[in-house]
Structure 1
Amino acid sequence: MPAHNTLRPGGNDGAGDPVAIPVVTSSRGQHGRRLRRAGAAITAGGVAIALIAACSGETTSSSSEGSSNGADSIVEAVAALPTAFAYDAGAFTYEGFEFQINTQAQLIRNPIVTADRADGSQEQDFFKFEGELAESYDVSADGLTYTFHLRKGVKSFAGNELTADDVLWSYERKWNSTSVAPAISAPAITDPAKQFKKIDDYTVSITIDRAGDGFTLLSLLANVSGDIFDSDLLKQHVTTDDPYAVKWSAENGNFGYGAYVLDNWKSGQSLTLKANPNYWAGEPAIKTITQRVVANPGTRTNLLTNGDADIAVQLRPQDVNGMKDDDSLQTFNIDSIEYLNTNINIKKAPFDDKLVRQALSYAIPYDEIMKQVFLGRADAMTGFINPRYPGYTTDGLRTGSYDPDKAKSLLAQAGVSGVSAKILVENSIPALEEAAVQIQSYAKDAGFNFTIDKQPATAVQDQRSNGTYDIQLVTDKAISQSPPYELLLAFTKGSPLNATGFANDAYYAAVDKGVAAGDPLSEAAGTAWNEAVKIWQDEQPTVPVAFIQPNVVFGAGIDGYYYRSDSAIDFAALSKTQ
């Protein structure tokens, strides 16, 4: 393992013996930093809250929905509410991620740093790890066994203490109740029943097959796919038809060890989170979070500028750009890993010919999309994986450029005189349609005649799953920032996440070569990642357009925002001044 970790694995410290490095138990709020103004540190407190089980449909509680008045409450204007309350229950939307990171917790997490760019905001350091539910971990001398030492006395909102049994049962559930966890966790985690072992009530070991998968393992454990559940509570709701209470947890939100609990739910209207008095890092400064559904992004913007909301998310790039010079508001400048991407259905003619896919890569007006759609709040891409991976190089890779003559030449080589196809976009993300319009306009001169197919999220997913789309414009990212994870996530042969149908043995061999290097952040591994991306760029199953900045704006009185790999907001890191 590399020496990039804050919570550094032992095993190669000179003596060859594992060394556990403890982590200070501190509030995440202390990591926060606003772009324009420093704020108060998070403080801990204790407030008794009655448990109100969240359920589908409408529920009510005696508590207020919260307002933007008061230093301990925040109102967030959102586009929608979560479709489920657990990752393995189908909570894959932005709203689902935001709910999970605030109500759940993982064994470890990424620490917070300042972005390495002018006026950079706070963001996660994707290449280091620190303790969360585990206060430390160590690694065997051969790099194959990771042992996690759980914090003692950590309790869920229901009052059940975290133990090794919760860790093992959580992963048993992930593997036996959903196909998503195995698909995103391989090859680091392939069989928890064999790899996970309870040493004692507060110690768990995880064994991997290859030392080079260790960084991927840690990255997986540090995001929502690694949520640890209160197994005592969930087992109370197990049924014959629902042996792991997945259906129950899709509709009931309070079964984790996170900083907040679900207090109030009004279907299609709002939800309220309350601070968890049992949170291991101390009760957060913000006691109440109210998410109010406002479907129109312009209206979300108005609520923020009028002071009726403290935070607005999933805004239009032009609205964010228009607020960047307003001293009463905050926009953020980060090294984004989220990007605008074009998925191509390579099993469908004429896109089954790589020359046509290469032609498409020259038919996209990258600069115009960055200027006209994202108004400069975007960065050009070379390849598709994070160019800031330590040890990685983009040498020999092509940065996207619009060249209609080149596109026509490639179509001619393919024996295709023109291409008529649909661009599939999700109708709840304004920037997607705007970018699709740019592509539709400019691609005509490159031999492509596109129509735009706007669909709700469920219909988009159906077309992806059924393989009926032509090309899809989507915002994408890898929430685990491990090079082999990012290279394989959407391209593993037979994976349900492989929407393009791409499979290439030489590509997989290059990824295996990088893993075999041992340290995925070494130059030796970086050369292999470069080799894999060159193969991908030749085959062109996707065409990434640009890294894009988060379309989130805060009121000036909110401190502590940092950019996460899942793009969601960690409310426990926030504080508020009047």
Structure 2
Amino acid sequence: MPAQNTPAPGGHDGAGDPVAIPVVTGSRGRRGPRLRRAGAALTAGGVAIALIAACSGETTSSSSEGSSSGADSIVEAVAALPTAFAYDAGAFTYEGFEFQINTQAQLIRNPIVTADRADGSQEEDFFKFEGELAESYDVSADGLTYTFHLRKGVKSFAGNELTADDVLWSYERKWNSTSVAPAISAPAIVDPARQFKKVDDYTVAITIDRAGDGFTLLSLLANVSGDIFDSDLLKEHVTADDPYAVKWSAENGNFGYGAYVLDNWKSGQSLTLKANPNYWAGEPAIKTITQRVVANPGTRTNLLTNGDADIAVQLRPQDVNGMKDDDGLQTFNIDSIEYLNTNINIKKAPFDDKLVRQALSYAIPYDEIMKQVFLGRADAMTGFINPRYPGYTTDGLRTGSYDPDKAKSLLAQAGVSSVSAKILVENSIPALEEAAVQIQSYAKDAGFNFTIDKQPATAVQDARSNGTYDIQLVTDKAISQSPPYELLLAFTKGSPLNATGFANDAYYAAVDKGVAAGDPLSEAAGTAWNEAVKIWQDEQPTVPVAFIQPNVVFGAGIDGYYYRSDSAIDFAALSKTQ
């Protein structure tokens, strides 16, 4: 069946016959969101045991652990391993996302298309959906009820069949644990106990309060909050202190319906995934994935070019650029949604003055960063949300440009002669420090004197949470590509994800206007999204710099890569030729 556009909820009024929405049931692998924490050895019965230790250290090439010798195994050179096996239990890292999307599954997913650009690579179509654990779904005529029909006979690695009870229990757990799901799912999902209903063993109905939230609901189910757990297995490990087995699952893997299962974990060295023979779409072509920890990105590059790894991730832009013309390697060119962003702590002087924040937006050397740091593998930004949303327009919005005179003029209007502040960067991402150096150099002529504060990921997160930073450089994206979701993700008042402290009633009213339009991809809604972004631009709580291309490289014999909104690699979609 053909892939379909998301229905335009709210296009009908009153009751009526449900609108049946066919869902593609493709065989290209799985689909999902994220995760984190980690470490363990595995049992054959489907459960990883014994949390070992935090990941650290670096391994190097060896003949016994070089590039895989068969067509059904792959070696990936990674920077680190996940630090937890359950999304509900921790924060997000690249390693965590990649573990999660390969060991969990969701009700639906996005289909794959080719990027509409020169030499475009494959990527998700963020605006359409197809079946994963659900084979189809219906939308009521009033656009308020989405009914999902589960595939029958789907089993977890532990051998338990997927039913509606697993869906309801998974969301019950998300709303009764430390999960960030409630914060990122509102207003589409605010109370699963009220909104999720078991129709029968293989049918789940989800109601929403506004038809205009339907597209966001589907985006969430396909991504960030959508993983469905084996509730029978997890209930076996419930305790009084851990009523939803969150702590247990953080230390143990294989409690979902994904394409792979954890087979082995060596602290700071490697992680091995094995194909799940019970996977709903059939056992993947690649049977074994070995992730080898190589902390230095240059060493990861060397392993790939020497043939000791099949895939290398989290590389430096200059390394990727240096490999783009190598016939034995593959780099990728996509419509990226990931971007270099500047968070501003607007509760801390002098950045509590929007004129100072506006001045900062003119003090950043956008073109130099795209040229010198990303070597042309970046695109200029106008606004901060995906400019390719159907119906949306960037008319009236400013593309970032370096103008030190304008910056100094704005500082003068604020009564500030110069600003001294720190740029917070995570020390494991080389491009962040390189971009910070460019800003530090060019911003001097604009009245800003910056020092660079390099910190480990945990310290960066603490500074964000505690509001002790000045400005922060970060790579950012909205994994669920829905306009209202992206507009509210980092800017909802009181949300733990709101690192800047930005709150604006006019901004929220513009978002509500877009939701009220019904179809968030319509021109009427797009006008409201444009209005909201103009308010954001005037307040300038963040300064986006550029959309950046993925820093991942494949060997020539590996096929099936596609760009995902979480940037991780879907191993079930891959194949290998020798």
TM-score by length of 2: 0.93
| Residue of structure 2 in register with 1:480 after alignment | 480
Is the Cα contact below 8 Å between 1:355 and 1:411 reproduced in 2?
Answer: yes
Q: C-alpha separation between the residues in 1 aligned to 2:12 and 2:533?
A: 31
| Residue of structure 1 in register with 2:328 after alignment | 328
TM-superposition CA deviations, 1:127-156 (whole Å, max 9, x none): 000010000000111100100000000000
Q: Indicate the SS of the match to 1:64.
A: helix
Is the Cα contact below 8 Å between 1:382 and 1:399 reproduced in 2?
Answer: yes
Is the Cα contact below 8 Å between 1:18 and 1:141 reproduced in 2?
Answer: yes
Q: C-alpha separation between the residues in 2 aligned to 1:403 and 1:386?
A: 25
Going from structure 1 to structure 2, the CA distance change for 1:292 and 1:404 (only over 3 Å counts) comes to same
1:379 equivalent in alignment to 2:379: yes
1:13 positional shift: 13
1:524 positional shift: 0.3
Q: C-alpha separation between the residues in 1 aligned to 2:38 and 2:240?
A: 53
Tell which deviates more after alignment, 77-86 or 24-33. 24-33
1:20 positional shift: 3.0
Is the Cα contact below 8 Å between 1:7 and 1:23 reproduced in 2?
Answer: no
Q: How many residues align?
A: 578
Q: C-alpha separation between the residues in 2 aligned to 1:121 and 1:504?
A: 38
Tell which deviates more after alignment, 486-495 or 45-54. 45-54
TM-superposition CA deviations, 1:429-476 (whole Å, max 9, x none): 110000000000000000000000000000000000000000000000
Is the Cα contact below 8 Å between 1:32 and 1:573 reproduced in 2?
Answer: no
Q: Indicate the SS of the match to 2:342.
A: strand
1:23 positional shift: 3.8
Q: Indicate the SS of the match to 2:546.
A: strand
Q: C-alpha separation between the residues in 2 aligned to 1:487 and 1:35?
A: 23
Q: C-alpha separation between the residues in 2 aligned to 1:251 and 1:257?
A: 18
Going from structure 1 to structure 2, the CA distance change for 1:543 and 1:327 (only over 3 Å counts) comes to same
1:111 positional shift: 0.3
Is the Cα contact below 8 Å between 2:345 and 2:470 reproduced in 1?
Answer: yes
Going from structure 1 to structure 2, the CA distance change for 1:24 and 1:394 (only over 3 Å counts) comes to closer
Going from structure 1 to structure 2, the CA distance change for 1:34 and 1:327 (only over 3 Å counts) comes to farther
1:267 positional shift: 1.2
TM-superposition CA deviations, 1:503-553 (whole Å, max 9, x none): 000000000000000000000000000000000000000000000000000
Is the Cα contact below 8 Å between 1:274 and 1:287 reproduced in 2?
Answer: yes
Going from structure 1 to structure 2, the CA distance change for 1:209 and 1:215 (only over 3 Å counts) comes to same
Going from structure 1 to structure 2, the CA distance change for 1:124 and 1:289 (only over 3 Å counts) comes to same
Going from structure 1 to structure 2, the CA distance change for 1:64 and 1:296 (only over 3 Å counts) comes to closer
TM-superposition CA deviations, 1:200-256 (whole Å, max 9, x none): 000001110000000000000001421000000011111111111111111111000
Q: Indicate the SS of the match to 1:273.
A: strand
1:48 positional shift: 17
| Residue of structure 1 in register with 2:222 after alignment | 222
Is the Cα contact below 8 Å between 2:135 and 2:150 reproduced in 1?
Answer: yes
Tell which deviates more after alignment, 81-90 or 17-26. 17-26
| Residue of structure 2 in register with 1:42 after alignment | 42
Is the Cα contact below 8 Å between 1:100 and 1:224 reproduced in 2?
Answer: no
1:19 positional shift: 3.5
Q: Indicate the SS of the match to 1:530.
A: helix
Q: C-alpha separation between the residues in 2 aligned to 1:408 and 1:142?
A: 53
Q: Indicate the SS of the match to 1:494.
A: coil
TM-superposition CA deviations, 1:161-213 (whole Å, max 9, x none): 00000000000000000251110000000000000000000000111000000
Is the Cα contact below 8 Å between 1:88 and 1:178 reproduced in 2?
Answer: yes
Going from structure 1 to structure 2, the CA distance change for 1:528 and 1:351 (only over 3 Å counts) comes to same
Tell which deviates more after alignment, 29-38 or 478-487. 29-38
Tell which deviates more after alignment, 24-33 or 217-226. 24-33
1:86 positional shift: 1.9
Q: C-alpha separation between the residues in 2 aligned to 1:527 and 1:543?
A: 22
Q: C-alpha separation between the residues in 2 aligned to 1:102 and 1:53?
A: 22
Going from structure 1 to structure 2, the CA distance change for 1:35 and 1:432 (only over 3 Å counts) comes to closer
| Residue of structure 2 in register with 1:312 after alignment | 312
1:561 positional shift: 0.1
Q: C-alpha separation between the residues in 2 aligned to 1:166 and 1:238?
A: 15
Q: C-alpha separation between the residues in 1 aligned to 2:38 and 2:231?
A: 40
Going from structure 1 to structure 2, the CA distance change for 1:34 and 1:165 (only over 3 Å counts) comes to closer
Going from structure 1 to structure 2, the CA distance change for 1:33 and 1:503 (only over 3 Å counts) comes to closer
Is the Cα contact below 8 Å between 1:54 and 1:265 reproduced in 2?
Answer: no
Is the Cα contact below 8 Å between 2:25 and 2:130 reproduced in 1?
Answer: no
1:25 positional shift: 3.6
Q: Indicate the SS of the match to 1:30.
A: coil
1:16 positional shift: 4.6
Is the Cα contact below 8 Å between 2:73 and 2:286 reproduced in 1?
Answer: yes
Q: C-alpha separation between the residues in 2 aligned to 1:55 and 1:431?
A: 22
Is the Cα contact below 8 Å between 1:59 and 1:264 reproduced in 2?
Answer: no
Is the Cα contact below 8 Å between 1:42 and 1:285 reproduced in 2?
Answer: no
Gapped regions of structure 1 (runs ≥ 5): none
TM-superposition CA deviations, 1:258-291 (whole Å, max 9, x none): 0000000011111000000000000000000000
Is the Cα contact below 8 Å between 2:11 and 2:518 reproduced in 1?
Answer: no
Going from structure 1 to structure 2, the CA distance change for 1:51 and 1:384 (only over 3 Å counts) comes to closer
Is the Cα contact below 8 Å between 1:61 and 1:263 reproduced in 2?
Answer: no
Going from structure 1 to structure 2, the CA distance change for 1:275 and 1:537 (only over 3 Å counts) comes to same
Q: C-alpha separation between the residues in 2 aligned to 1:342 and 1:72?
A: 42
Going from structure 1 to structure 2, the CA distance change for 1:6 and 1:500 (only over 3 Å counts) comes to closer
1:88 positional shift: 1.2
Going from structure 1 to structure 2, the CA distance change for 1:45 and 1:179 (only over 3 Å counts) comes to closer
Q: C-alpha separation between the residues in 2 aligned to 1:32 and 1:322?
A: 31
| Residue of structure 2 in register with 1:141 after alignment | 141
Going from structure 1 to structure 2, the CA distance change for 1:37 and 1:182 (only over 3 Å counts) comes to closer
Going from structure 1 to structure 2, the CA distance change for 1:534 and 1:313 (only over 3 Å counts) comes to same
Gapped regions of structure 2 (runs ≥ 5): none
Is the Cα contact below 8 Å between 1:391 and 1:521 reproduced in 2?
Answer: yes
Going from structure 1 to structure 2, the CA distance change for 1:56 and 1:574 (only over 3 Å counts) comes to same
Going from structure 1 to structure 2, the CA distance change for 1:469 and 1:161 (only over 3 Å counts) comes to same
1:83 positional shift: 1.3
Going from structure 1 to structure 2, the CA distance change for 1:42 and 1:27 (only over 3 Å counts) comes to farther
Is the Cα contact below 8 Å between 2:41 and 2:48 reproduced in 1?
Answer: no
1:347 positional shift: 0.2
1:55 equivalent in alignment to 2:52: no
Is the Cα contact below 8 Å between 1:383 and 1:537 reproduced in 2?
Answer: yes
Q: C-alpha separation between the residues in 1 aligned to 2:37 and 2:327?
A: 10
1:67 positional shift: 4.4
Is the Cα contact below 8 Å between 1:97 and 1:568 reproduced in 2?
Answer: yes
Q: Indicate the SS of the match to 1:298.
A: helix
Q: Indicate the SS of the match to 1:199.
A: strand
Q: C-alpha separation between the residues in 2 aligned to 1:55 and 1:446?
A: 41
Going from structure 1 to structure 2, the CA distance change for 1:53 and 1:300 (only over 3 Å counts) comes to closer
Q: Indicate the SS of the match to 1:113.
A: strand
TM-score by length of 1: 0.93
TM-superposition CA deviations, 1:60-86 (whole Å, max 9, x none): 999997842110000000000011112
Going from structure 1 to structure 2, the CA distance change for 1:2 and 1:382 (only over 3 Å counts) comes to farther
Is the Cα contact below 8 Å between 1:11 and 1:140 reproduced in 2?
Answer: no
Going from structure 1 to structure 2, the CA distance change for 1:219 and 1:37 (only over 3 Å counts) comes to closer
Q: C-alpha separation between the residues in 2 aligned to 1:48 and 1:209?
A: 40
Going from structure 1 to structure 2, the CA distance change for 1:480 and 1:524 (only over 3 Å counts) comes to same
Going from structure 1 to structure 2, the CA distance change for 1:208 and 1:281 (only over 3 Å counts) comes to same
Going from structure 1 to structure 2, the CA distance change for 1:500 and 1:37 (only over 3 Å counts) comes to closer
Going from structure 1 to structure 2, the CA distance change for 1:48 and 1:276 (only over 3 Å counts) comes to farther
1:109 positional shift: 0.2
Q: Indicate the SS of the match to 2:21.
A: coil
Going from structure 1 to structure 2, the CA distance change for 1:46 and 1:361 (only over 3 Å counts) comes to closer
1:17 positional shift: 1.9
Going from structure 1 to structure 2, the CA distance change for 1:2 and 1:160 (only over 3 Å counts) comes to closer
1:34 positional shift: 24
